[in-house]
Amino acid sequence: MSAQNNSGLQPPNTSAAPAPSRFRSGMMGRLLTPGLVVILVAIIAAMIYGATGGAARREAWYTVLLFVGLASSLNILLGYTGYVSFGHIVFFGFGGYIGFFAIYQLGWNLLPASLLGGAAAALLALGLGLAILRLRGAYFALATIGINEAMKALVINIPALGGPNGMVLNFGIYASYGGAAQAQWTVYWATAVLTLMVVLTSYIVKKSKFGLGLMAIREDEDAAEVMGVVAPRAKTWAYVISALFPGILGVLFFFKASNIEPAAAFNLNRSIELLVMVMLGGQGTVLGPILGAGGYQLLRTTLLTSDLALFGLKIKDIQLAVAGLLLLIIVLFIPVGFIGWLRSRSTRLRRWLE
Amino acid sequence: MKRLALLASALLIMAMLAACAGGPASPASSGGDTTTQTDSGGSEQAASAREVLIGYTASQTGKYNVESTRQVNGLNQWMKEVNDAGGIKLADGTVVTFASKSYDDESNGDRVQELYTKLATTDGADFLISPYSSGLTSTASPIAEQYEKVMITTGAADDANYTQGYTGIYQVYTPASKYLTGAVDMLKAKAPDVKKLAVVHENDKFSTGVADAVKAYAESLGYEIVLFEGYDSATTDFAPFINKIEQSAPDAILGGGHFQDGSTFARQLAEKGVDVPYMALLVAPPEPTFADLGDAAVGVVGPSQWEPLAKFTEAAASSAGLTWVGPTGDTFVSDYQAAYNDEPSYHAAGGYVAGMMLGEAIKQAGSLDSAAVKAALDSMDLLTFYGHLKFDTSAEAHGLQVGHDMVFVQWQKDGDGNLVKQVVWPAEGATADLITR
């Protein structure tokens, strides 16, 4: 661990075109940083903690891990490329629908169905990316909302996907996964491992030349093109990578819930919550979405199930207001997010907080 | 040195995660809304007293808030009454009283499984009540079944919930497939000149189930469906649908969805002065607050699971050969009004009846054992102030409500020009004739 690690120390915008020799010194060397250890420890600790306290704790941590995975996948587009997607949840819903259809209608096993869901979401992103990634700024953000709503309307009008009724799995299906209890454990572990993969992918992208290209686009797309970054291609691949994982996570989520409906699959609120989580933790950092999503979900769970009272009002009755207030304070005073703020305060911390 | 720092940071992160987790996960600090109505006479039988915990999630926030709150009020009223009466005595002499624990599901399914798992495991709920709405109930059902808890569903009308192989889920409501078919019967009997129907419904699980069933039923009776359209749940501007209605010129509009969209739809139809003589909407019209629409509410018909005006009596039960259970409708209404200063809607009655059925099944079974309570529910055939209750016991549709029928209400003006709700169908329970809008 020596000089080559320093690439992580520099602010991304100044390292857009580092000396080529540094890159030849080995991908592995560049990837093994203290920051990676922090990230791995955080995810694996959460995974194990969630699995060792009975079903109720597992369920709470399932939600946490799911949203860490979703927020980290959004960060690959939002954080590195700077393209704000309000409709990221469309990949969760679309992948979920395709996979659920495979399980419900075609009788597929969960594993191939999940992979199909992920592939479908990635393909959708490929097609969409070529079209809408030409838009910039607010226009792109608006287009992503439109796509989510259009997809919801489309699904509602396809009878094979259950139309507005959606689809409901027969309880008997869990028997082939060792019973409902075992099926929930399977979904938990699959989600945990996927979340780990999303975070690792996010880290590898950040450390790669491809990632540097994305960050160059974020800082100034025209300048990046002049410097040799093929912006349309790079952006589309970032979009595809960020769509793949939500597709798989969606299949797992709806399989576990035993039913899927358009309103639940293409829930724009959930999409906006994802943006908040990424902003909270710090966009463009790998650790940021992990802490943002984890912190946000744990806060919500705690408030929802809390007995605490404030001026005679039970916090659980006003938990949305409390969560909103906290978000407002964070966005007002540390707009770069928690990890971004820490990184800006101390150069020493930067190598630990990727 | 570097290794040491690495280790320290790893430990720090783990400690942070553990600290964060302390709140939601540890059973010792588990929160939630525990409502206990203690029985003052219970202390004499302290040795053989047992408190039964009923778990559920309520939509304290989000779009189901109105309906869900009434449902919870109804359940709480039943609990208070049964506890004040000294609880229920089991076969072994144990006297059980009831308490409940609930969480906010925010009207969406993201945390429903998490919260029901918590209720069924760490909170130790003995029995479960469903969330409000068919979608959330579908999500909660695998958890109830998995932990072998009996779950009484109320506010979950969609038929599909009950055909998925569950053995311990029981429905209080008339299923969606029978929700609006009575309106077609009513039109056939009371308004024979009606030929063309428009079905405009919310595009969600429940409303679409109702709309599909009513379309098939109306067509089988020879009606022409001139418009069949679904609108998004979040619709606030119905202008496109109103234009289509004007173009297709139906004699009656059937449809709607839930409270907010239904009342908005009715208001905008009145504002545009759309001339359609009959209109029946789901969910919204039976709500007492529907009267806030003023003149826009006049003539709007709604199917209701139950109405305060509906008279089911002990005498009717004995003549039909059914067992009568619980208070009369008048007693329920006056007690509810005294407790909540609000007229009970059918959601409140559903919540009350869900509790009452559970209590009745425990009484019949003489035990708290899930299997015994299920057997008692399977053989239940009752008349209550809410109407007839009986469950399908076949393997294909276990727990589906097959005893209960809908009543139809219409907002009309009384002699003083005040808005009042009248029962217009079925004919034997009618308090007024059907009028046009």
Do residue A168 and residue B161 have CB atoms under 8 angstroms apart? yes
Please check whether residues B391 and B419 belong to one and the same domain.
no
Residue B29 lies in a domain: no
Residue A26 lies in a domain: no
Q: How many CB atoms lie within 10 A of CB B221?
A: 11
Residue B153 lies in a domain: yes
Please check whether residues B281 and B420 belong to one and the same domain.
yes
Residue A216 lies in a domain: yes
| C-alpha span between A105 and A261 (Å, rounded) | 15
pLDDT for B238 equals 95
Chain A residues inside the 8 Å CB shell of B175: none
Nearest Cα of chain A lies from the Cα of B32 at a distance, in angstroms, of 5
Residue B22 lies in a domain: no
pLDDT for A276 equals 86
Q: What is the average pLDDT score of chain B? A: 87
| C-alpha span between B274 and B297 (Å, rounded) | 13
Residue B6 lies in a domain: no
Query: A321 pLDDT exceeds 80?
Result: no
Cα dist from A283 to A29, A38, A272, B20, B148, whole Å: 25, 17, 14, 22, 44
Please check whether residues B183 and B136 belong to one and the same domain.
no
Q: What is the pTM of this model?
A: 0.83
Chain segment B149-207, per-residue pLDDT in tens: 999 999 998 888 899 999 999 999 999 888 999 899 999 999 999 999 999 999 887 88
Please check whether residues B272 and B337 belong to one and the same domain.
no
Chain segment B311-340, per-residue pLDDT in tens: 788 888 888 888 899 899 899 999 999 999
Please check whether residues B247 and B333 belong to one and the same domain.
no
Q: Which of A59, A152, A317 sits opposite B60 (nearest CB)?
A: A317
Chain B residues inside the 8 Å CB shell of A307: 29, 31-32
Do residue B31 and residue A307 have CB atoms under 8 angstroms apart? yes
Q: Which residues contact B317 (CB under 8 A, 6 or more apart)?
A: B323, B324, B383
Q: What is the average pLDDT score of chain A? A: 87
Do residue A259 and residue B138 have CB atoms under 8 angstroms apart? yes
Residue contacts between A and B (CB atoms, under 8 Å) = 167
| C-alpha span between A176 and A157 (Å, rounded) | 31
Chain segment A114-154, per-residue pLDDT in tens: 999 999 999 999 999 988 888 888 899 899 999 999 999 99
Chain segment B127-154, per-residue pLDDT in tens: 999 999 888 999 999 999 999 999 999 9
Residue A14 lies in a domain: no
Query: A1 pLDDT exceeds 70?
Result: no
Q: Which of B17, B33, B161 sits opposite A49 (nearest CB)?
A: B17
Beta bridge pairs of residue B100? B35, B54
Find out whether B357 and B172 touch, Cβ atoms under 8 Å: yes
**A142-156, B20-34, B212-226, range with the lowest pLDDT:** B20-34
Residue B139 lies in a domain: yes
Cα dist from B160 to A168, B210, B231, B389, B400, whole Å: 7, 12, 21, 19, 9
Give the model's confidence band at B33: pLDDT under 50 very low, under 70 low, under 90 confident, else very high. Answer: low
Chain segment A284-313, per-residue pLDDT in tens: 999 999 999 999 898 888 888 777 766 766
Angle, to 10 degrees, between the axis of helix A319-333 and the axis of helix A268-281? Answer: 40
Query: B63 pLDDT exceeds 60?
Result: yes
pLDDT for A312 equals 67
Please check whether residues B381 and B423 belong to one and the same domain.
no
Q: Which of B24, B146, B164 sits opposite A181 (nearest CB)?
A: B146
Query: A16 pLDDT exceeds 50?
Result: no
Residue B258 lies in a domain: yes
Domain of B226 in residue numbering reads as 178-304+407-429
Residue B434 lies in a domain: no
What's the domain count of chain B? 2
| C-alpha span between A176 and A183 (Å, rounded) | 9
Q: Which A residues in the span 161-220 are in contact with B, Cβ-Cβ below 8 Å?
A: 163-166, 168-172, 174, 179-181, 184
pLDDT for B48 equals 84
- Section A1-22 average pLDDT: 44
pLDDT for A171 equals 93
